[in-house]
Amino acid sequence: MGEVDSAFIQAIEHRPKLAIVEAEGIPLIDLSALNSPDSSNPSAISRLVAEIGEACKNWGFFQVINHGVPFERRQNMELASRKFFAQSTEEKRKVRRDEMNPMGYYDTEHTKNVRDWKEVFDFAVENPMVMPASHEPDDKELTKWINQWPDYPSELREASEAYAEELKKLSYKLVELISLSLGLPAKRLNAFFKDQTSSIRLNHYPPCPIPHLALGVGRHKDPGALTILGQDDVGGLEVKRKTDGEWIRVRPTPDAYIINVGDIIQVWSNDKYESVEHRVMVNSQRERFSIPFFLNPGHHVMVEPLEELTDEQNPAKYKAYNWGKFRATRIRSNFKKLSVENIQIHHFKIAE
């Protein structure tokens, strides 16, 4: 990531030091009932739905095991990711993303932003990804974000596309369980993901000489529907516990995925489930790799509280917003480094 200069250190020394609680952390949920003869057992599914509902309500995060994603698919993805990031910066930047097409490589070697001690490679699950051409409300033009694949490693594209198909399957299982936990039909949310704008990110966090001051990713909430995170054994993810605001380290569980509900599910559920703040700490000795899958609806979807979950006693708490325009606005803000707050769902909150 280059030399650490004094200006960088001076800037981040003023970052608030938040307490960290060492704990086993977020709930661990076994999905084997979905991949066994128990899948037709109503009581087994009911128990699973109840666990999912409690985790979404109390934590906004949970881990899943026995999830059905083949080990080989995940291993191939992780190995190809490591090969890509092991190349020289010059080689990786041949597929660098830009404002017109934010799919590809991005590094933060020359930034002074404490949030970003990492390098990433993004690709769309549906290629090309159809998105609004601009953030302007009246602009109806669409554009296509196209995946960029490097020459090396040659297996990256095949591994990525195969892995994406497995994560799509898992994401639908999880969305259906969440829908059931809200008292809705299992497939109530599925139509929102037609022509989905989901993406996968390969993250590499190099060793950091100032781990007590820097962050891999600063505190934030995910704007999409659901995030499915695969990570190595190094760890670093921390979740802000809802009950007391303490930061909880999520200890890596072999072969598990970490799931968190995003802002869209918070809006759909009318605040029954909440998107929770999280961040990533860096390590002074070891590099860290992680691969999040961001499940997002189609660009045309209007996000608003679901009709079945609102009534006179519990009116809608958010105004409807268009997902594609929302994301286009976020992308524009990120690339132009605007000095204004990035658009958030609280901007659509209805005053009580």
Residue 333 maps to a domain: yes
Supply the range of the domain harboring residue 329: 6-348
Q: What does each of the 352 residues of the chain score in pLDDT, given as a tens digit?
A: 444 444 433 433 333 333 333 345 789 999 999 987 656 678 889 999 999 999 999 999 999 999 999 999 999 999 999 999 999 999 999 999 987 889 999 987 544 444 568 999 999 999 999 999 888 888 889 999 999 999 999 999 999 999 999 999 999 999 999 999 999 999 999 999 999 999 999 999 999 887 766 667 888 999 999 999 999 999 889 999 999 999 999 988 999 999 999 999 999 999 999 999 999 988 888 999 999 999 999 999 999 999 999 999 999 999 999 999 999 888 876 665 544 457 799 999 998 7
How far does CA 282 lie from the centroid of its chain? 18
Q: Residue 24: what pLDDT? A: 53
pLDDT of residue 350: 92
Q: pTM of whole model > 0.85?
A: yes
Whether 256 is covered by a domain: the verdict is yes
3-state DSSP call for residue 344? coil
Predicted confidence at residue 148, as pLDDT, reads 97
Residue at 144 is within a domain: yes
pLDDT score at 4: 43
Question: Per the structure, how many domains does the chain have?
Answer: 1
Q: Which residues contact 2 (CB under 8 A, 6 or more apart)?
A: 109, 110
Q: Write the CA distances from 30 to 47, 63, 116, 239, integer angstroms.
A: 11, 8, 33, 20
- Take residue 26 and report the two structure tokens written for it: 């977020």
Task: Specify whether the CB–CB gap between 258 and 63 falls below 8 A.
Answer: yes
In a domain, 296, yes or no: yes
Where are any strands of DSSP class E within the chain? Answer: 20-21, 28-30, 61-65, 104-107, 119-124, 129-132, 142-145, 199-205, 215-220, 226-231, 237-240, 247-249, 257-261, 278-281, 288-295, 302-303, 321-322
Looking at residue 208, what is its pLDDT? 84
1 in any annotated domain:
no
pLDDT score at 99 = 79
List beta partners, residue 238.
249, 279
Q: What is the amino acid identity at position 45?
A: I
CATH code for the domain of 70: 2.60.120.330
Residue 334, pLDDT score: 65
- Between the CA of residue 143 and those of 65, 139, 193, 229, 317, what are the distances in Å? 38, 11, 18, 28, 31
Q: How many CB atoms lie within 10 A of CB 186?
A: 16
Asked if the structure places residue 197 within a domain, the reply is yes
